[in-house]
Amino acid sequence: MRFFFAAQMAWQGVVINPLRSGLTVLGVAIGVASVVSLMGIGEGARLAVVRQFESLGSNVIVIKAHDAKAEFMPEEAEELLERVSGLKYASPVVRTNAVMRWRRARGQVEIIGVSSDFPELRDHRLVSGRFFTKWHVEQRSPVAVLGYNIGAGLLGGRSPVGQTLTLNGQTYRIVGVLEKKGPGQAESIDDKVVIPYTTALKIAGKKTVDELWVKAESAKAADLAIAHLGRIYRRKLGFDVTAPKPGGGEQQQMPGKEGAEKPVETLPAPQPEDHRKEEKPALELGKDIITITNLNTLVEEADKANRVMTLLLGGIAAVSLLVGGLGIMNIMLVAVTERTGEIGVRRALGAKRFDLLLQFLMEAFYLSGMGAATGTALGIWGVNLFNRYGFNAVISAEAVRVAVFVALGCGLLFGVYPAWTAASVPPVEALRR
């Protein structure tokens, strides 16, 4: 009963000065809207990066040689499958270019040479035909699987499987077309031609490869495999593997000549578990001969960086939310001063301190509540607006929840002091004004 009346009277307080209430509500709304939309942008960016990394395939480890002398024999990929437990698929990788001819058209295309494990390894599916087989690889067959864009371009959407094209003058049979991954996804595979690595080595005129891919059964297996692979390649490059080193780190570097002269020093001393993750990929060191990278880790790191960014944006927006909350406090304090007479009358007529506390608190609550509601609507509208201008913002339920919660919290928090002030004015004092 009491609450109901307080709520009613608080509402009268809101509507009696629509302009002022409106501006206060707007202040809160802007705060909520900026939290919702800025966090939306941050979250959208994070999801985009995560999606991009995920398109690379899960639990994939990339072993890369940065020095011609350290390059791998293609057979090593198969050997790793046997030596390292927890690995399921493996492929050497040959990257090269070729002139492609299709009927009368010709042009440069990027070629990627891989084993028949490729679709499983990098999580690819085919829209038509099938992938080349182990047999094709062994036979160095002139067969090609086309990236989606290339495959779709040839016959205007009809499947080109069974047709032939030429690469550097040699005729290849098209056996399959990969499913679309999207622009920039999965190393832009949509615009590449995939052929057996044996055939690709012929085109490139090489015997060794500078890149190996392996896929582990699980994220945990990938972590263990990284450690094992680290030991294998350390030994291969002639390091003392028994020397202390960062165990199953996500990424391991084998220092080159300069480092080799004092191998133990160049390897970081053992560190506590949680510090290991802080290790920076040492690609920029230039001295590294071989890097072993767990793509899962890249996803995690990108994710972490973007989370920080989202929080940062949210933090900036939270400031405006706080300002909105202070606006409520300001307006309520003004109301208390301005309406001292009203407070006095109510007290004279029998209102208790608690009644006034409740009334003014509810008034603040209404203002913040309306602010939160309009702000959420405004934020959703803002996200859509951003997206029209090329952002990938998303409406995150979490952001809305946080913003609304903070807005209502601010309303109550900043409403308490003015409400308490209102309730504390002695009736005689109040009536004198």
Partner 1 sequence: MELLELRGISKEYRSGRGTVKALSDINLSVKRGEFVSIMGPSGSGKSTLLNVIGCLDRPSTGEYFLDGMKVDRVSDDKLSEIRNRYIGFVFQNFHLLQGLDALGNVELPLIYRGIGSAERKRRAKEALEAVGLSDRIHHRPSELSGGEQQRVAIARALVQEPLLVLADEPTGSLDSRTGRAIMELFQKLNTERGITVVMVTHDRDMARYGRRIVRLLDGRIKEEEFIG
Query: Which positions touch partner 1 (CB under 8 A)?
Result: 1-2, 5, 9, 12-13, 15-16, 341-342, 344-355, 426-428, 431
Nearer to partner 1, 338 or 398 (CB): 338
Nearer to partner 1, 5 or 381 (CB): 5
| Residue 13 beta carbon to partner 1: minimum distance, rounded to whole angstroms | 8
Nearer to partner 1, 215 or 339 (CB): 339
Nearer to partner 1, 247 or 427 (CB): 427
Nearer to partner 1, 124 or 347 (CB): 347
| Residue 351 beta carbon to partner 1: minimum distance, rounded to whole angstroms | 5
| Residue 411 beta carbon to partner 1: minimum distance, rounded to whole angstroms | 21
| Residue 368 beta carbon to partner 1: minimum distance, rounded to whole angstroms | 21
Beta bridge partners, 129, equal 176
Residue type, 101: R
306 alpha-carbon distance from chain centroid? 6
| Residue 346 beta carbon to partner 1: minimum distance, rounded to whole angstroms | 7
| Residue 7 beta carbon to partner 1: minimum distance, rounded to whole angstroms | 12
Nearer to partner 1, 243 or 348 (CB): 348
| Residue 427 beta carbon to partner 1: minimum distance, rounded to whole angstroms | 5
Nearer to partner 1, 288 or 342 (CB): 342
Count CA atoms closer than 13 A to 323's CA, side-chain side: 15
Nearer to partner 1, 9 or 221 (CB): 9
**SS3 sequence of the chain:** CHHHHHHHHHHHHHHCCHHHHHHHHHHHHHHHHHHHHHHHHHHHHHHHHHHHHHCCCCCEEEEEECCHHHCECCCHHHHHHHHCCCEEEEEEEEEEEEEEEECCEEEEEEEEEECCCHHHHCCCCEEEECCCCHHHHHCCCCEEEECHHHHHHHECCECCCCCEEEECCEEEEEEEEECCCCCCCHHHHHHEEEEEHHHHHHHHCCCCECEEEEEECCHHHHHHHHHHHHHHHHHHCCCCCCCCCCCCCCEEEECCHHHHCCHHHHCCCCCCHHHHCCCCCHHHHCCCCEEEEEHHHHHHHHHHHHHHHHHHHHHHHHHHHHHHHHHHHHHHHHHHHHCHHHHHHHHHCCCCHHHHHHHHHHHHHHHHHHHHHHHHHHHHHHHHHHHHCCCCCCCCHHHHHHHHHHHHHHHHHHHHHHHHHHHHCCHHHHHHC
Nearer to partner 1, 5 or 405 (CB): 5
Nearer to partner 1, 14 or 112 (CB): 14
Distance CA 93, CA 215 (A): 13
For the chain, what's the residue count?
A: 433
Nearer to partner 1, 265 or 338 (CB): 338
- 207 burial (CB, 10 Å; 0-12 / 13-18 / 19+) is exposed
What angle do helix axes 397-424 and 295-338 make, rounded to 10 degrees? 20
| Residue 1 beta carbon to partner 1: minimum distance, rounded to whole angstroms | 5
